[in-house]
Amino acid sequence: MARAPRITVVEDEEALCLLLRYNLEAEGYLVETITRGDEAEIALRETVPDLLVLDWMLPGLSGIELCRRLRARRETGILPIIMLTARGEESERVRGLATGADDYMIKPFSTPELLARIRAMLRRVNPSLLLNVLSFSDLKLDREQHRVYRKERELKLGPMEFRLLEFLMQSPGRVFSRGQLLDNVWGPDIYVDDRTVDVHVGRLRKAINIGRSIDLIRTVRGAGYSFG
């Protein structure tokens, strides 16, 4: 499997939490589990995962309300959400979707089906997440082999440079602020200077723009960086 997409599970039943974590990690995802709705809202303000599995009933803040609030924010407006509902009444199903969940599962549900839905949804939102080889122009990044090529010629990247490039290549053209890059590439709990990003982008540039190649990384003054 490709580089792990991040999935956050918000579910108060301890047993189900463990089951989901076990299965999702077996599929190769990076999993974060949260048991309370209000805690989830705070956590999601920090970092946005690639997909959210959300229980309908939660202590602190109900799943449906959390969903509504997430949809109202730009950062999480299109975050894929799969809702877990206890009862299968149709009125509730419809309400769940109408609130902005992208899909729902009725408990008890089959784990393989949930995994299939997650895969389908991730592919729809950002196909790059599930690809093993990202390429753009004459640059190719192989996640499995941890190798990068520019025009058939292999490049030598440090670990940080590789991860930075990988992340940027997942959303070509999109501009990320230094804060976003630190969160997503360095990790949410790492506190380093914003300007460190500049240095690494510089190193990455030097590494991938061998010879006279055009610069594949764009600096957006006052905003951040983007690939392509």
Residues found near DNA in the complex (CB under 7 A) = 156, 158-161, 186, 190, 192-193, 195-196, 198-203, 205-206, 219-224
In this structure, are residues 181 and 174 in contact, taking their beta carbons and an 8 Å threshold? no
Q: Quick one: 67 or 164, whose CB is closer to DNA?
A: 164
In this structure, are residues 105 and 85 in contact, taking their beta carbons and an 8 Å threshold? yes
Residues 36-75 interacting with a second copy (rule: CB under 8 A): 74
- As to burial, measured by CB atoms within 10 angstroms (0-12 exposed, 13-18 middle, 19+ buried), residue 76 is buried
Least distance from a second copy to the Cβ atom of residue 165, Å: 14
The answer to the question of residue 203 lying near a second copy (CB under 8 A) is no
Stretch binding a second copy (CB under 8 A), from 13-21, 41-49, 55-63, 89-97: 89-97
How many C-beta atoms lie closer than 10 Å to residue 165's C-beta?
Answer: 25
Helix (H, G, I), strand (E, B) or coil at 44: helix
Q: Report the partner that residue 226 touches, choosing among a second copy, DNA, none (CB closer than 5 to 8 A by kind).
A: a second copy
Using CA atoms, how far apart are residues 215 and 207, in angstroms rounded to an integer? 11
The answer to the question of residue 192 lying near a second copy (CB under 8 A) is no
Q: Report the partner that residue 192 touches, choosing among a second copy, DNA, none (CB closer than 5 to 8 A by kind).
A: DNA
Is the preceding peptide bond at 108 cis, omega within 30 degrees of 0? yes
Write down the residue that tokens 């950062």 correspond to. Answer: 75
Write the binding mask 115 to 134 for a second copy: x where contact by CB under 8 A, - elsewhere.
-xx-xxx-xx--xx--x---
